[in-house]
Amino acid sequence: MKKGTIILLSVLGGIVIIGLMLFGWVTGMYNSLVKSDEGINQAWAQVQNQYQRRVDLIPNLVEVVKGYAAHEKEVFENVAAARASVGKIQVTPEILNNPQLFQKFQEAQNAMGSWLSRLLAVAENYPQLKANENFLQLQSQLEGTENRIAVERKRFNEVVQEYNIKVRTFPTSILAGMFGFSQKQYFQSEPGAEKAPKVSFK
């Protein structure tokens, strides 16, 4: 075999090896982005699950409170309106890529939480309601749900942070841009969130 042929084969072999290494590196980065994106979807599903649990508790809670405080009509109507507003938002995976829809979802959930706190505050004026076993069970379930929501939102934000770092870090940012991986939105605290809503009547 001629010396020139050997050199040419060596160069081609080197190019093939470099190409395979580059392909493996790009594939690894892409798969890492997909895995992080799916992690966000899974965390998002858990957030939705807890919000749904809260929405499902509300009609029972309203009915129990209504039995003792029927004249608190405005509170009941606003809780129902907030619940309906939450139900109107189509919660699809695309919401995570649309900052305006994500903000709208968060605002609807915040309004729901606010009116729910007001509904529970009504109970302070009704000692017999505070002693009602059904009310106490629903209150306990609601408190547990609110805690789960906080935990799942925190977990969601952590997963989003990990993903956003990947999307913004060089050289993964180049690949992310090529394949349409963009930054995701975080859950933000609502104004006044530093003051925890009062949901306990002890």
User: How many independent structural domains does the chain possess?
Assistant: 1
Which domain does 151 fall in, by range? 50-202
Is the residue at 42 inside a domain?
Answer: no
Collapsed DSSP state (helix, strand, coil) of residue 82? helix
Query: What pTM did the predictor assign?
Result: 0.78
37-62 pLDDT per residue, tens: 999 999 999 999 999 999 999 898 88
Q: How many helices (H) and strands (E) does the chain have?
A: 6, 0
- Residue 8 covered by a domain: no
Q: What is the mean pLDDT of the chain?
A: 86
Question: Is residue 116 situated within a structural domain?
Answer: yes
Contact yes or no for 148/48 (Cβ under 8 A)? no
Q: Tell me if 76 is assigned to some domain.
A: yes
Buried b (16+ CB within 10 A) or exposed e, 63-97: ebbbebbeebeebbebbeebbebbeeeebeeebbe
DSSP character at residue 89: S
Longest Cα separation, the chain: 101
